[in-house]
Amino acid sequence: LNLAEWITVDLPASMNIHSGVGDVRVWSELQHSQLVSLVGDVQLHQLQLTRPEKGTFSVKQLKTRFYWELNDSKWRLDVPNFLLETADKKWPAAAFSVSGDRTEGNSLHKLGLFVEQVDVQEVSRLLQFFAPLPKEAGVLLTQAQLKGSLEQFSLFADLDEKHFAVDGKFTKINIAPSATMPGIENLTGQLKGSDQEGSVDLATKDARMTTSGLFREALKITKLKGTIAWQQTPDDWIASSPIIELDSPDLKTKSRLSLSIPKTEGRKTFMDLQTAFSSDDVSKASYYLPASAMKKTVVDWLDRAFISGRVPRGNMLFYGNLSDFPFTGGQGIFETRFEVDQLELAYDPEWPHVIDLGGEVLFLQGGLQVDLRKGLSDKVKINQAKVTIPALGKSEHLLVQGELETGILQGLEFMQQTPLKSPVDKLLDAVEPQGNTQVILDLKLPLADGATARVNGSAQLVNARLRVKALDLGVTQINGALKFNEQGVYSDTIKATALERPIQINIKSSNTQTAVNVAGRVGVSDLQKQFKIPGWQVAEGATDYQLKLQLPYDDSTPELLMQSKLAGVALDLPGALAKTREQQRSLSLTFSLADEAILPINLNYDNQLKAAIKFNIKQQRIESGNVLVGIGNVVQRQQAGIKLEINRERLALQDWLGLASSLAQDKDSETTTGAVSGLKEIKIHSEHGLWKKADLGLFDLVLKADGNFWSGDINGSVAKGKIKIPVDLKGADSISLDMNELQLSVLKQLKYQGDALEPLPVPDFMPLLAITSQKTLWQSVDLGQLSLQTERIPNGMLFKRLELAGKDLKLNLSGDWKVNGKTSETRAQGSLNMPRAGQLLSKLGITKNLTETSAVIDFTGMWNAAPYQFSLADLHGKIDVHLKGGRILSIEPGFGRVLGMLAMAQWIKRLQLDFSDVYEEGLTFNSINGHFDVLNGKAVTHDLVIDAIPAKITITGETDFINRSFDQVANVAPKSADAVPIAGTIVGKVAALIGRSLTGKDQEGFFFGSQYLVKGDWENAQIIPLHENDGLLQKTWNGITGFPWLQQPKVQ
């Protein structure tokens, strides 16, 4: 049949058949011309029905069989098979029965429905098109997007009284969420009730609940069990349940519900929901929180905060109108409180996680509070802590307060994982703390963009300890509070002990660095115990000091600065570097803490001594260094070893030699110390090198380590040439001095610095010497080439050869130096040959009054001391003097200076061979010969003979070098009368001049053939004539010549 053509009658609800084809078979029964039953078998294809405001309902195919009957006013329709296929879906087969009761006006009075099985979505679509529903009901039905099925479902409705009753089973029902009600998927249960009251028994598995944005994701429901009862009051629909069990994969809950839905528009839906829950995975907690009602920053924090853990028990209360949530104005109550166990909390991405937490979490009135009773964060034990967000969605900060217990090192390592990393890194690079501490922590960590962190904390130190890594220095008994904020660590005064003495520590932090300031006192002996390096013997006492440890936050190198005025410390150093305990001199030490193994140190002592060294802490040795005394600056040496540079205008060499000897030898072990073994280069410059009071002039010395030797150059007023010194002075190698020029006259300067020589200790060993000089000078006179060679002998040293050879002299000397216990003995013997003695003595400035002579002097001697401790008082020896052919001109005191070249000038000179003018042309002699015995500071001669042309002069007696006096007898005997013209004026002059030659002044009665006693001190010797021994010539001479003018003293 073409349905549009065949069915022309008006259909209910203004429906029209637009198109369609039908195959209809109908069996009817009439009674009294009235239809009482109808059986039909209908198949419809491509049916399109239209209805105003409902659009078009298309049926692709419909197959059904129905049974209808009428009994008086009651009718019944049974549809045992209803197969519907629409354009988009083929619906499951349905079976249902519908009955009704009509009024006299043929209006439907009562309606009954029984559904054996029907698809709810199909029914919903049919109802939306065919049922005469109010507009609002139709909208709700559309929004509900119903799915699922009804089984054994019955419905009774009294349309006149507006009552209904329902009973049946629903399976896998889906209801889309609305503004007031959550949606549900896969809901299964039993429904029974009426328009006044009823209940729903839920027995659901694997369901999902969705909300309109309240939760970010649909909540998975593994189990939903419970009974929800409803009741209608005049104003509301009320739903309630004493217990609903709802389990999800991560959460188990039991809830009690009371929901009031108002009938009047404008009133709000009210819910009272109380839930108990537990969970084995707290990390999923954020999925069960109303994210849409929270600020994004809070949601983000909750997402990352709860890493893992358990919720043994918890409770949630929702009490208020649904539309007022989250009750920021106090319109209702939303509270979630649950216990946590084994919780891992990431409260801030820049701070370490907290693990193994136990405590309670509370969401209340839009705020969050986490109270923790225990926990652990990177070895930091949490005794109590509180994490708070006062107003979720509004608070800019997360508040963290806690009381922690930890090792100091572990606490600082914890802070290394926080924004305080930079200052703490540098602190731990510098120190290694030990001990435990109690920490109070107060953090304000940003939640909102633009918010800044605030950190306050305090670690209480009680008898703590630490080690300063760079110095390997222990600090103990540390007591005080170490505080920290967002800039770094700081403190008030912290008391401690270092180097067995109390110290005070103060810490300050800025935006760029942390500064640790220490004030204390230290003794030299304390430093010597801590730092086992050579050189402490030059210092004694104790002094105050200040330390400043600078720890920059960037990549700059940390530095430790030590400063002191050294009051209380005495320094036994050369010259101006020395100080007494009372004096104050500034000392600064800067330690660069870049390397834990090697410690660069810069030292400045009173701006007079500077050093830049690298010190190996573990091995307690200096790896490299530059040490400067005097003018200039120092930088760190890149090569291994120490360079010592002295650059001073005036330099006391003997003091520095003594210091070097002191530093070189360890008094306890009698071994060479690191102060010398580490030296690789020595450079000394002084415009005025001093030996005691003697100014030696320019002094330049450069020495460099060269294998087993020190090699270098010396350049100065005293010497110029090459030096080579063996490192092992006790070995077989000699100290080699290969001089281009050597100035011996410096010995004269050194000799006259004092009569007494300071006693020196007997040396433990004697280094070998090999000295050569191409030009050997006495003042500006070149004496020739010098050569000295020594050998070791048992208990001493042999001067194998000492030779000085030039065109004017040749000196050969040998001897030895022996040590017996604590005493020394030196022996020397030699010969001095001067072929042109007069000329040489004139060049040397000794005398110009001895000419045309040659000299040979032989000598032997010994003294009970080292060679360099020569003393006239200790000298025991013999001297033989031989002068041949010459003249003595206007003689000045000093014939003995000829021997001064051998360091004997002092006592030879005092022999007072002061031959004054005999006559202007000089005193010609054939020879001067004599022998001297030297003992106990006295030189004794019995045969000093001057064989002059006019006379023979013999001198006997002694010269006392200690008491500076004479006790001598001089005999003058003329050779013949012809030797001197016998004329008054001439003889008188000769006599006077001879007297002057012996006394240094005019003497009366001095004539040939006389004997005189010379006695007294050197500066005022008395000449006493011995007249009883006068010769005949003298006795007669006074009677012959009586020139009165000869009686007057002659002025010199």
Query: What pLDDT is recorded for position 985?
Result: 35
Residue 1034 per-residue DSSP state: H
Closest CA relative to residue 911, chosen from 939, 889, 885: 939
Q: What is the distance between the alpha carbons of residues 622 and 620, in angstroms, rounded to a whole number?
A: 7
Using alpha carbons only, give the angle 378, 382, 383 rounded to the nearest 5 degrees: 160
Of 437 and 419, the structure prediction assigns the larger pLDDT to 437
Asked whether residue 1044 carries a pLDDT value surpassing 50, the answer given is: no
Amino acid at 809: L
Measured in whole angstroms, the distance separating CA 183 from the mean position of its chain's CA atoms is 64
Q: What is the distance between the alpha carbons of residues 640 and 624, in angstroms, rounded to a whole number?
A: 5
Average pLDDT, integer, range 161-177: 87
Residue 579 per-residue DSSP state: B
Of 660 and 577, the structure prediction assigns the larger pLDDT to 577
Please report which helix (H) or strand (E) contains residue 296, including its range.
Answer: helix 296-305
3-state secondary structure of 791: strand
Helices 421-430 and 408-415, axial angle in degrees (round to 10): 140
Average pLDDT, integer, range 77-93: 87
Q: What is the distance between the alpha carbons of residues 115 and 155, in angstroms, rounded to a whole number?
A: 9
Average pLDDT, integer, range 528-546: 85
For residue 898 the two structure tokens come to 């000829």
Per-residue pLDDT tens over the stretch 993-1023: 444 444 444 443 344 457 778 788 877 777 7
Q: Pick left, alpha or beta for residue 971 (phi over 0 → left; psi -120 to 50 → alpha; otherwise beta).
A: beta
Q: How confident is the model at residue 984 (pLDDT cuts 50, 70, 90)?
A: very low
Query: What pLDDT is recorded for position 1009?
Result: 57
Using alpha carbons only, give the angle 893, 887, 967 rounded to the nearest 5 degrees: 40
**Cβ-based burial of 727 (10 A; exposed 0-12, middle 13-18, buried ≥19):** middle
Per-residue pLDDT tens over the stretch 679-735: 888 999 999 888 777 788 899 999 998 888 989 999 998 899 999 999 888 888 999
Query: What pLDDT is recorded for position 761?
Result: 61
Q: What is the distance between the alpha carbons of residues 801 and 813, in angstroms, rounded to a whole number?
A: 6
3-state secondary structure of 355: strand
User: Beta partners for 445?
Assistant: 398
Asked whether residue 669 carries a pLDDT value surpassing 60, the answer given is: no
Most confident of 102-116, 144-158, 853-867: 853-867
Per-residue pLDDT tens over the stretch 549-575: 888 888 888 888 999 999 999 998 888
Closest CA relative to residue 518, chosen from 459, 408, 430: 430
Of 962 and 878, the structure prediction assigns the larger pLDDT to 878
Q: How confident is the model at residue 115 (pLDDT cuts 50, 70, 90)?
A: confident
Per-residue pLDDT tens over the stretch 576-605: 889 999 999 999 999 888 776 788 889 999
pTM comes to: 0.62
Is cis: bond before 134, omega within 30 of 0?
A: no
For residue 685 the two structure tokens come to 């410059």
Query: What pLDDT is recorded for position 212?
Result: 66
Residues 6+ apart with CB under 8 A from 498: 473, 474, 475, 476, 518, 520, 522
Residue 672 per-residue DSSP state: B
Q: How high does pLDDT run on average in the chain?
A: 81
For residue 971 the two structure tokens come to 């005999």
Query: What pLDDT is recorded for position 920?
Result: 38
Q: What is the distance between the alpha carbons of residues 703 and 712, in angstroms, rounded to a whole number?
A: 4
Query: What pLDDT is recorded for position 139?
Result: 79
Between the alpha carbon of residue 334 and those of residues 369, 370, 396, the distances in Å are 14, 16, 21
Query: What pLDDT is recorded for position 886?
Result: 86
| SS3 readout for 495-511 | EEEECCEEEEEEEEECC
Amino acid at 575: G
For residue 796 the two structure tokens come to 């001493």
Asked if 59 and 36 touch (Cβ cutoff 8 Å), the reply is no
Per-residue pLDDT tens over the stretch 775-833: 999 878 999 999 999 999 988 899 988 999 999 999 999 999 998 888 889 999 999 99
Please report which helix (H) or strand (E) contains residue 261, including its range.
Answer: strand 252-262
Amino acid at 590: T
Query: What pLDDT is recorded for position 880?
Result: 94
Per-residue pLDDT tens over the stretch 464-501: 998 887 778 889 999 999 888 888 888 899 999 998 89
Q: Output b/e per residue, 647-675; b: 16+ Cβ within 10 A.
A: ebeebbbebbeebbebbbbeeeeeebbbb
User: Beta partners for 699?
Assistant: 686, 716
3-state secondary structure of 394: coil
**Percent above pLDDT 70 for the chain:** 85
Q: How confident is the model at residue 755 (pLDDT cuts 50, 70, 90)?
A: very low
Query: What pLDDT is recorded for position 11?
Result: 66
Of 266 and 806, the structure prediction assigns the larger pLDDT to 806
- The length of the chain, given as a count of residues: 1052
Beta-strand pair 569-571/559-564: unpaired
Q: What is the distance between the alpha carbons of residues 337 and 312, in angstroms, rounded to a whole number?
A: 11
Virtual torsion, Cα 918, 920, 926, 929, nearest 10 deg? 50
Q: What is the distance between the alpha carbons of residues 82 and 93, in angstroms, rounded to a whole number?
A: 6
Q: What is the distance between the alpha carbons of residues 354 and 344, in angstroms, rounded to a whole number?
A: 5
Amino acid at 149: S
Query: What pLDDT is recorded for position 956?
Result: 92
Query: What pLDDT is recorded for position 892?
Result: 37
Asked whether residue 391 carries a pLDDT value surpassing 70, the answer given is: yes
For residue 180 the two structure tokens come to 């007031």
Between the alpha carbon of residue 975 and those of residues 307, 890, 985, the distances in Å are 133, 21, 20
